[in-house]
Structure formats: structure tokens, C-alpha cells
Chain A
């Protein structure tokens, strides 16, 4: 009997793996197969198999993570473009669903909507919630499973945990006793990690090279991006324990050190090394840099190859959300690439459908984003959705909330390295401005994008450049708006503001803070994002980042426009 089960399991998983490897397999069919796998095969020992096909699934959903894909101009090979185009969420058109889920005989959960109308009929109208891909990736099944298990009164039912959903498996929050998944790791390309995370890791490894001991947290990271450091802390894995990664990173640093001539191991990574004053004092000789790198010959090639292959092992949840949050940047990049290709050969590419409607993959992505945001940054009135049933999961979830918001900040808001007020003032004074006159009217001049060094921390002038403002892709702007809109709508803000006023009037408790923790975390990044977009965003281009920033700003400063109701 057991061997029969095992055989069945092997066949199913092989089929799923084949489907995931094949680029032209229908997303709906594959998602259905996966839904079936989680409901039937997974409880029978599919954990290890899931870990095996997890990278394949991510590649299929979001496209493969290519090295420096977001930094490239348009240099994608035909093969790379093909592999990216076959990603489910990069599809322009809705995939075919041959039969509705309701008629498939599977017990599908009804759609969950904390704010919308619950229990809407699902079979007659083709709704995005009924899409198998959405059902596979969304949190709805998790919530429904929890709702059901919460209300189970029959002891025999309690003994047999319900089949977990993909999301439960991913976040290790299933009732199932998961053995492998909590320790499972999946490799993520180092070059595609958020920029500040890369900087912190490089800095830490470099620091370790000098002192031969220490961890991420005890490294002198005060001058580094605190967000990057804290994001690393949120990731429930110590990157420095990954010996292969650390070793390769050291190798790259030492080769770069050798090629560059200037020491990377002398603690000169701090942004102050790239402050305007430091940059002005440094000799400007890009030619020298090129000569040095060319002199390195094959070593330069080696270091590039090493950089491309450098990977960081992440827990599955972190890997999934890194890929998920990075995805709108990829959509933006692909739209750019296809627009350029289309203008070259007159064809219609991604996001350039003639009817100008939103591509289906993007719709699915936005739906999933809203779903995850509602789940992790739940408003007080929907916090009871069995999400935080026990204190342990509450702790884990709060760490995940933080990790998620920090990923959003890193990928979406911190595209540019914003200059500190002091650096901007120094720059202004060097340009003949009045350093002492730091009035409100100087706000425009202080929103500067100054010179920034490369992530490897080389203080060679050739590696540093003045940043050009690059507006975030339209998709990222939408994502930011969705997230901010949700956060501003949080009833906790109203409650906490009222509480502060009350305590002030009663003169009892002082020094209250009216913002929830997530909003507090987001505040500095959002502030920089808005002021930079307002300063640099094009004003004569319709729907440009300038206008998106105005919308976002007004959204944030007017929480009193939020209407709550029953």
C-alpha cells in the first residue's frame, strides 16, 4: 500500500516537474496540478519533493533570476528573453482555463476578501480569484484552512490536520509537522539582492577578513544602510555561516583589490568616502582605473564570472518574496526592452497591447500583492483572521512583516542612494550656496542625488559616479501606491492618534507615538522617495513619477480621508 502511494507520488511529482520545465505548458493546468499535489500528495511525504521543484516553480512564475538583469540596458540574449517571456506573470493575455474550478469536482475554497463582499458566486463570472494560479499562490486557502481548523469541534478531525496550501507550506505555518521545510534553503543570485544588502554583506565579509571574527550584527555597520542591515537580520539565516558564499565573496574582493590597487580591506566602505567632499579631494583619473583593470587581464573575466555565479542561500519564504518584490522591476525592464524591440521591428511586445489594457500577468501580480499586503499588514479589524493564533507564530509573522516591508523599501523606494542632509549641505556650500541658511526654502536644493561609489566599496574615482534620476517603472509606482494606500487605511492610526490626544488632554501619559510600527519603518524611505521624485520627476510628461509622487504624498498626509464603515 505504501509503495503504491510512493509510486503515485513519484509519478505526480515527475509530471509537475516536467510541466514546470516546459515553457509552453498551460499555467492554469500546471497550477491545478500543483493544487492537487498540495491537497493530496503533499501530506503523504511530498515535502522533500516540494523543496526540489520550488526553484523551478519560481522560475516558471516570475521568470529566471538573471544576473544583473535590472541593471542591463537592453542586452538580453534571445534565449534569455525567451525564458523570461514564458514566465506566467509576464504573460500579456489571460491563459486558457478549460473548465471552471467549481465544476472540476475539487473542493475549492471560496474567495477571501476582508473588505469586499464575501461569498460571491465564483463559477458564473470569470474572476481573477478563480484563476488556478491565483488560488495556488494567494493566501486565501491558508485563511480558509485556518478558519476551518479554528472552528473544528470534532476531536477526530483535529487529529488529522488539513492538507496545507502552498502559502502555508512556504511560510511553514501549516498544522502539519514539517520536518524538512523549516531548514530548506534555496539559492538566490547575489547580484539581484537589494543593493544595500549586497553592500552590507560585502562590508561584513571585508571586515571579517580584517578581524577574522564577528557576525553581521557586530560588524561596524553604523555608517551602512540600516535598512539593509536590518533586512539581513530579519532573514532567518546567518549569511556569514554560508562558507561557500563568504569564500567566493572574499575571493572577488581580493581580486578587485589586486586589480584596483586601492585597498578594500581598510574599512573605506563608508558612504563618507563617497561624500562630495571626499570625492572632490580624490584624484579624478578614470583612465587609471581602466588601465589597472585591463592590466589584470584574465582576472577581470574571472571576477565577473565569479560575481555572476555568486549566490546566497535563503529560506524558501525569503526567496519567494525576494523574487516577488523584485518582480515589478523586471516587468518594467521587460516593457522597456519590448518597446525598444517593437519600435525596431513593428511587433507588439509585453505591455504594449493595442488596447492599452493591463497585461493579465500584471493583473495577477497586483492581485497577489494586495492579498499579501492584507495578510501581513492586516488592519486591526481583520487581525482576528486566525493569522495570529499563538504567540510563536505571532513573533514569526511580525518578523516576516518587517522583512517584507524592508524588501519593498529596498527594491521599490531605495533605488537611488539618497544623500544625507549634511552631505547635501556640504555640496551646496561647495557650489557657492550658503551652508548656514538651511531654511525650509532650501528643501529643493537639499534633495540631492550625489556621487555614489560602487557596491564593492572601491574608492577609485572611476568607479564612482553622480547619480542620474531614473524614475521607477510604472508598475513599481502602482505597487508603492497599493502598499501606502493600505497602510494609511489602517484603523490603528486613527485609534492611536485619538489615544495620544486623549492622553495629552488628560495629562497622564506623555511621549506617545501615533504611528504603527510598519508605517514608522517605512517613513524615512518614503520621505526620500517622495522628495526626490518631486524634485527630479518630469513635470511635462503625463502620468510621470512627479505626479505619482504627488498622489502618494497626498495619500500619506491625509489619513483623515479614510472612510471606515460596516
Chain B
């Protein structure tokens, strides 16, 4: 038998009379001559495999033994699925693996945290699952669930799969049964709830952004990150979800509420003051100025005349007295508030305040907070709020500004 080894620098032919020892000597000496011992070793190892094969069974499988590998590559969450109809029989043999865990996952995924800190991580989990269900795979699943005559052969595999699952197999309506045929559109509710949660939390995150965060987000958007990128991810997810759960093309998980856009300075004022639900369309129930639903509003909801949108739940209390944030210097918060109070009282903008931050005292009730909100709303167009002094980021900006100024002036 002849074995030609051609992928090396030195091409040679080995026959049966050429002993293994001779071959080893030949390779190592060739390697030494070339001044590449490591390469010689590699050649030695590779060739020793081939020589082993030449002495042993000569079947193609035997020859390829040491060289073959199979690795499961974990795709990235945003990569398209590699599914092709060639795998149809595999899907048929595992049909309920494509349906039942998906249904459970969609139901549970709503519990995931989609706040700013956890958004990417949670979305990765959702995307990893959703990406599997490519339009082609969804089509295959539809074919397998459909009781068409043309698909009778492949559905025999599904029957065998259900037989294999035995008593744990879901009770799917069979041919001739007068129950609703299983379809992926049965998952619309779960899918909608999940998407609603994602969109809602995302909008809340954007709504809670202050001035600097909004600027930061815009800068990040230039580099394809931040809330802009998140929006793109969400919209892609919605498009995929539409294919899986067969939502209509105009489907939106959460209709856009017409919020007053206060531009860059939204972070400085109170969100609650602006909305009270009145601006979220004619579907919102009647509310008090504090945001609480009135008795009439309750009745409206009860009779189905109005609906609640979680986006309309406003924060209560005065944001000036909110707990110190991670980017704020705690001592300066207190001082800046005292200074603001003195100025407000001096100019008659506000009544004197105790200057207590939320969380310092016993928990405030909703009524107390609502009262404070009302008091705050009673304040005119302007009041002093020097809390920005406590923001460490401002100090960084000021320091850089000062340095630039010094550099410009040559001081």
C-alpha cells in the first residue's frame, strides 16, 4: 500500500517495505536539516498516525479516526440561526423541545431584570432563545403542527417522538379531533407580556435619565451604544417575535404614550408634575393632581372605559429631597439643600422646609409624599436647587474647565 504525504514541505511516498523506524529517522533528520525540530516532531506525530493506519484496517473511517473532531460552537445572541430544512427530521423528532420549553421560557422571562444595569445581560438570554426560531424553523414547526396530508410522512416521526415521551407528552389534538390545532400563535400572550416588560422598563430607564445621563447616552449613541443601541436591539427583537408568535405587522408591544418632551432639562424638574396621566391619551382614567386615581377613575377602569398604563405611574415626592445618589457627595447634598432652602425662603419662592432627605426618617406614606408633591407644584416657575453642587461629575467638569482656562490664559 502506498501512502502519499503531501501536505508537508517534503513530499514523499511510503511503501510497505519502508519500516516505521526508517521513516522516523527520515523525518527527524529532515527536520534537523531544515533546522526546525518542532516542525519535525509535528511531522513525526502526524505521519505516525498515518503509518498506524497503513498497518491496520484500511477502511475510510479508520483512516480518518485521529483527525476528526466535532465541536459545539455557541453562537452569539445576535447571530442568525444556521437552521436549514435538512434538519427538519431532527425538529420532528424533538418537536416538543421546540415548543414546551419555549412556552415556559417566555412566561418566565418576564421576571428578568431589564433595568439599565441588567439590560444587556437579560436581553442576551432572551435573544439567545429568540434567535433559534428563525423564519425557516418557524415554518418547519408550522408544517409539523399542521395536519396536512402532504406532511404525513414527517409527522410519523412526531408521533414516534410523542410515543417516546410517553405519559409526559403534551396532549396535542390529533387528526379529526375537534380541538384547536396547536400553533405558535398560542404564545402571543406570553410573548406580548415579555415584550411589554422590556419596552416598559426601557422607557422608564430613559424617563429617569437626568441631564448628564441624557448627554452621555447621546454620546454613546454615536458609538452605537447606550439607549439608542438598546432601542435597535428591542426593535429587532420585536421583529423576530412577530414572526414567531404571528403578531400583525403593525403590532407594538406598548403603544407610544405622548409624553411631554422637556428636552435636556427634564431631569431638573419633577416628572409627576407634568403628567398625571392626562397626556397619555384619552384612555387614561381620571386622576387627582397628585396622580392618584379618583373614585370616578376607578369606576372607569372597572367598566372597561379606561385602561391603566404602567408608564403613567409617576414618582411621588420632591426630587430635590431624594436619597443621595451614588455619584453625589453626601455631605455636600445636605449643605447644598440647606443653602437652596435659605435662598428660596429669602426670595420668597418657598416656605421653610425641614431639609430632610427621604430615607433619613421613618418611611413616608404615599399621602405624605403626595402632599409634598402638591407643595412642590405650588412653587412657581423657578426655585433654587443647588443640589448639582453635590454631583461629583460636575466637579470633574469644573476642574477640567478650570485647567483648560488656565492653559488658555497661560497661568
Residues on A close to B: CB < 8 A? 114-119, 147, 150-151, 153, 226, 379-385, 418, 420-422, 425, 436, 438-441, 443-444, 446-447, 485, 488-491, 493, 496-498, 500-501, 504, 510-515, 520, 523-524, 527-528, 530-531, 534-535, 539-540, 546-547, 549-550, 553-566
Pick the contact of A500 from B49, B89, B111, B132 — CB < 8 Å?
B89
**Which chain B positions have C-beta within 8 A of A520?**
164
Taking a contact as CB atoms under 8 Å apart, the answer to whether A381 and B64 are in contact is: yes
Q: Report the Cα distance A118→B52, complex, angstroms.
A: 13
Q: Which residue of B lies closest to A499 (CB)?
A: B89
**What is the 8 Å Cβ interface bit string for chain B, positions 134-175, against chain A (1 contact, 0 not)?**
000000000000000000011011001100111111110000
Taking a contact as CB atoms under 8 Å apart, the answer to whether B89 and A490 are in contact is: no
**Which chain A positions have C-beta within 8 A of B153?**
504, 510-511
Pick the contact of B89 from A497, A524, A531, A546 — CB < 8 Å?
A497
Taking a contact as CB atoms under 8 Å apart, the answer to whether A550 and B45 are in contact is: no
Taking a contact as CB atoms under 8 Å apart, the answer to whether B168 and A418 are in contact is: yes
Main secondary structure on B side of the interface with A? helix
Q: Which residue of A lies closest to B69 (CB)?
A: A115
Taking a contact as CB atoms under 8 Å apart, the answer to whether B182 and A439 are in contact is: yes
Q: Report the Cα distance A383→B128, complex, angstroms.
A: 33
Taking a contact as CB atoms under 8 Å apart, the answer to whether A515 and B61 are in contact is: no
Taking a contact as CB atoms under 8 Å apart, the answer to whether B104 and A531 are in contact is: yes
Taking a contact as CB atoms under 8 Å apart, the answer to whether A535 and B189 are in contact is: no
Q: Report the Cα distance A520→B89, complex, angstroms.
A: 14
Beyond A115-B68, A497-B90, whether A441 also contacts B84 by CB under 8 A is: no
Taking a contact as CB atoms under 8 Å apart, the answer to whether A421 and B129 are in contact is: no
Other than A489-B70, A514-B93, A557-B132, give 7 A-B pairs with Cβ distance below 8 A.
A380-B61, A440-B184, A447-B104, A520-B164, A540-B111, A556-B94, A562-B71
**Which chain A positions have C-beta within 8 A of B64?**
381, 566
Taking a contact as CB atoms under 8 Å apart, the answer to whether A381 and B68 are in contact is: yes
Pick the contact of A118 from B45, B182, B187 — CB < 8 Å?
B45
Taking a contact as CB atoms under 8 Å apart, the answer to whether A515 and B93 are in contact is: yes
**What is the 8 Å Cβ interface bit string for chain B, positions 59-79, against chain A (1 contact, 0 not)?**
101101111111111110000
Taking a contact as CB atoms under 8 Å apart, the answer to whether B97 and A547 are in contact is: no
Pick the contact of A384 from B65, B87, B167 — CB < 8 Å?
B65
Taking a contact as CB atoms under 8 Å apart, the answer to whether B129 and A550 are in contact is: yes
- 22 A-B residue pairs with Cβ-Cβ distance under 8 Å, sorted by A, are A114-B68, A115-B68, A118-B66, A385-B65, A439-B180, A443-B101, A447-B100, A485-B72, A497-B87, A501-B86, A504-B154, A511-B160, A515-B90, A515-B93, A523-B94, A524-B166, A535-B108, A539-B108, A539-B111, A562-B71, A565-B71, A566-B68
Taking a contact as CB atoms under 8 Å apart, the answer to whether B73 and A561 are in contact is: yes
Pick the contact of B168 from A119, A513, A527, A557 — CB < 8 Å?
A527
Q: Report the Cα distance A558→B128, complex, angstroms.
A: 11
**Which chain A positions have C-beta within 8 A of B99?**
440, 443
A-B contact count (CB 8 A): 214
Taking a contact as CB atoms under 8 Å apart, the answer to whether A382 and B164 are in contact is: no
Smallest CB-CB A-B distances: 10 pairs? A420-B167, A443-B103, A500-B89, A381-B68, A489-B70, A440-B186, A115-B69, A514-B89, A119-B45, A534-B104
Beyond A384-B62, A550-B129, whether A512 also contacts B170 by CB under 8 A is: no
Taking a contact as CB atoms under 8 Å apart, the answer to whether A115 and B70 are in contact is: yes
Q: Does B248 contact A (CB under 8 A)?
A: no
Taking a contact as CB atoms under 8 Å apart, the answer to whether B65 and A443 are in contact is: no
Taking a contact as CB atoms under 8 Å apart, the answer to whether A558 and B132 are in contact is: yes
**Which chain A positions have C-beta within 8 A of B87?**
497, 559-560
Residue of A381, A422, A447 with most partner-chain B CB within 10 A: A381
**Which chain A positions have C-beta within 8 A of B189?**
441
Interface size, chain B (Cβ < 8 Å) = 76
Q: Which residue of B lies closest to A440 (CB)?
A: B186
Beyond A119-B45, A500-B157, A531-B101, whether A440 also contacts B182 by CB under 8 A is: yes
Beyond A527-B165, A557-B94, whether A425 also contacts B171 by CB under 8 A is: yes
B129 → A minimal CB distance (Å): 7
Taking a contact as CB atoms under 8 Å apart, the answer to whether B171 and A527 are in contact is: no
B47 → A minimal CB distance (Å): 11
Taking a contact as CB atoms under 8 Å apart, the answer to whether B166 and A513 are in contact is: no
**Which chain B positions have C-beta within 8 A of A523?**
94, 161, 164-165
B55 → A minimal CB distance (Å): 5
Q: Does B384 contact A (CB under 8 A)?
A: no
Taking a contact as CB atoms under 8 Å apart, the answer to whether B97 and A553 are in contact is: yes
Q: Which residue of B lies closest to A484 (CB)?
A: B72
Taking a contact as CB atoms under 8 Å apart, the answer to whether B65 and A381 are in contact is: yes
Beyond A381-B64, A510-B156, A561-B74, whether A444 also contacts B103 by CB under 8 A is: yes
Q: Report the Cα distance A515→B157, complex, angstroms.
A: 10
Q: Does B88 contact A (CB under 8 A)?
A: yes
Beyond A501-B88, A560-B84, whether A443 also contacts B170 by CB under 8 A is: yes
Beyond A439-B186, A440-B182, A564-B70, whether A119 also contacts B48 by CB under 8 A is: yes
**Which chain A positions have C-beta within 8 A of B70?**
115, 379, 381, 489-491, 562-564
**Which chain B positions have C-beta within 8 A of A497?**
86-90
Pick the contact of B104 from A510, A535, A557 — CB < 8 Å?
A535
Q: Does B113 contact A (CB under 8 A)?
A: yes
Q: Which residue of B lies closest to A147 (CB)?
A: B52
**Which chain B positions have C-beta within 8 A of A115?**
68-71
